[in-house]
Every structure is written in structure tokens, then in C-alpha cells.
A and B are shown apart, each in its own frame.
Chain A
């Protein structure tokens, strides 16, 4: 059965809406009962590292670093490095707590089945303890190295990702990654606050770019992983609203990302070079999302391209912003 046919079949189930959906998720979770998993093998340091979601962590480090570079304040380089490390560890901690909570659905999805908990290398309780310990450690270290504002923002980011997104939104609404995206968008604000002790409007411009970028990025992935999400009963947009509606929403968000990507130039945070790069990248993003919109249901070539480009987009956009600010400091 193809992914689209399968999701159509799932969509016809009345239990996928409202309370019925929540109950079916709860029943599924009970039958899997990840908290009674028997460990298959002893975990090594690499398994604990995998628990930190290193790829997500690298994006957090990168965007937080750009926030620190663009921020006008000055901090001892060693303290700045320790602050960045704290933000990275905080992101890893929330990743570990997310894996603890989502162990039941990770076991169902092909993309996540080899993670340390579903594959039986780490016990869920161990992951919960590890994540909680690192959360406290990272916030405390950031408070020591920089200031209370940054530490408070990091604590809020971890709380938002684990409690608001993972525990509440992810299994209950197709807007899960839209609202939950705030957690992924906060690192540059935390980085900015670490340097200055405040979070002004400019920092929230960086937040808004990532916040608007998150839905088209994840929905492009969800389009061709729809079957996986349906199997795990996660109400991602393509599963609940269908492919056509998702493709329309991806296009709408891509336009917003394209427009907002140039905002740092108008806010005086970047120069003409950045504006040019942001404009070109924005056109590329809108063009690929338009291709995704025009593609037939079941054709995921453009969605895969868009997903790949979205990562490149964020990397180049923030990279240019950071490089321009560094260059400005030396000229």
C-alpha cells in the first residue's frame, strides 16, 4: 500500500479526530509500554551521545552562535564559549527527554526505530534521568557563565520543547510543529541574551525567521514520511488535512519566510550583501515550494528537494548574517 493510499485510509477513521484520536494513541502507547522494555544490550558512551540528538544540537549551536555574533554586547571569549556549550547541552537534554517521552512512537516509525531506547540499548528511565540531570546542569552553567536572562530563556526552551511540544502538542494537533517550532527558534535569542543580558526586538527577528521556516521544513519531510506518521498516529498536517492542504500551507509559509528573511536588513542588523543573499535564497525557497504545490499527490520529488534546500537556506542565511557581522567588526 502506498503512503498516500494508506494515509487516506487512516484519514477516514473517525477515531483520528479529537478525543477518539487521543484515546487511540493512549491505547497504542499502553500496548507498547516502553517503560517495561527489556534492555537488549549494554549502552556505551556513543548511545548516550545519540540520545542528545546531535544533528538537532548542531543546528542549535549554529543559530545560537549567530545570535551571539550579531548581538552588540561583549563577553569574555571563554565565557562566551562556555555559554554556547551550555546552550548545546540544554538542547541535548531536551532531546533526551523527548526520546524518553516518545519511546512508544519511536518504536513504530522506521526513521526512529534505531534510536537508543526503542532498540533496547538504554532504558527509558535512564534517558529521563540523564535528560533531567543535563537540563539542570546546562541552565546552572549558563547562569554562572553569562546571566539570569539567558539561563531563564534556556530553561523555558527546554520546558517548551519537552512539556508543551512533546507531551502536549505533538500527539494532539496538526499545528504541533507550528507552535512547537518556538522551541527550535529560541536558541539565537538565548545566545543574544547570553551576550547582552537582554532579548530586544532584533533577537526576536531571528526567532521569527526560524519560527516561520519550521512548518515548511517539517511538512516537506512529513509529506514523504506520511505513512510513518500515520502508523505512529501522530496528527501531522498531511495525515490530518491531506496532501493538497499541506502543500498549500507550505507555499504560504515559504512566502512569509522569503519576506521575513530580508527583515534583518531593514532592522539595521545586516547590510546590502545579506539583503541580496536573503533575497536570492528566499526566491529559491518560494520557487521550490511552488513546485511542491504544483506536484501531483504521491509525487514527492519536489518535497524532498524542498526539505534539503530548507536546511541549506537556514545555514546560508544565518551564515551570511554572521559572516557579515564579523567582517564589519574588522573593517
Chain B
């Protein structure tokens, strides 16, 4: 097979992307959403941790090891 034929075969294999393609603006918004969700989850975990410590008070260390 010549080089030209090889290139033609290769380009035939490349399929156009399927499904919905996001624009740059949409990708940016999705990224912002992901960051917001991550911050909320971390914040919530932190809140529950702090609330638990404050509610239990000294009982946190007052336990059988």
C-alpha cells in the first residue's frame, strides 16, 4: 500500500464525535458547578464534624479505649 492509500484508510476510520458537544461556556459552567458541589460537600462534612465535637463536648475523650 502506498503512503497515500494509508492516509486515506486512516481518515476513513476517524468518525465525527457523537452526542451533544458542549460549548466552552457550558464547560466553564459545568466546572463551576462541580467546584460548588465539592465546596458544599466539604463544608457540610466540616459542619457535622464541628457540631458533633461541640455537642459531645468533653465526652469525646471520656470513653473506654
Interface residues on A, range: 10 to 19
Known A45-B36, A82-B47, A137-B44: A144·B55 in contact at CB below 8 Å? yes
Which of A42, A78, A137 is the one whose CB lies under 8 Å from B26? A42
Among residues of A, the one whose C-beta sits closest to the C-beta of B52 is: A144
Collect the chain A residues with CB atoms within 8 Å of residue B30's CB.
42
**A144 with B36, Cβ < 8 A, contacts A42-B26, A42-B30, A137-B44 known:** no
- Report which B residues bind A (CB closer than 8 A): 22, 25-26, 29-30, 32-33, 36, 44, 47-48, 50-52, 54-55
Asked if A79 lies at the interface with its beta carbon under 8 angstroms from chain B, I say yes
Q: Give 1 or 0 for each of A71-91: 1 = CB within 8 Å of chain B CB.
A: 000001011001001000000
Which A-B residue pairs are the 5 nearest by beta carbons? A45-B36, A44-B29, A42-B26, A42-B29, A145-B51
Contact partner, A76, options B25, B29, B54, Cβ 8 Å:
B54
Identify the interface centre among A41, A42, A43, A137: most chain B CB within 10 Å of its CB. A42
The answer to whether residues A82 and B51 also contact, given A42-B26, A137-B44 and a CB cut-off of 8 A, is: yes
User: How near does chain B come to A76, taking the closest CB pair, in angstroms?
Assistant: 5
User: Are A141 and B47 in touch, CB under 8 angstroms?
Assistant: yes
Cross-chain contact A78 with B44 (CB below 8 angstroms): no
> Per a CB cutoff under 8 Å, which of A44, A76, A78 touches B32?
A44
Residues of A within 8 A of B (CB): 41-45, 48, 76, 78-79, 82, 85, 137, 141, 144-145
State A45–B29 Cα separation when bound (angstroms). 8
Residues B33 and A43 in contact, CB atoms below 8 Å apart: yes
Q: Which of B22, B29, B36, B55 has the most CB of A within 10 A?
A: B29
A78 near B50: Cβ-Cβ < 8 Å? yes
Q: How far is the CA of A141 from the CA of B26 in the complex (A)?
A: 33
In the complex, what residues of B have CB within 8 A of residue A41's CB?
Answer: 26
Contact B55 A79 (CB under 8 A): yes
Interface centre among A43, A45, A144 (most CB of B within 10 A): A45
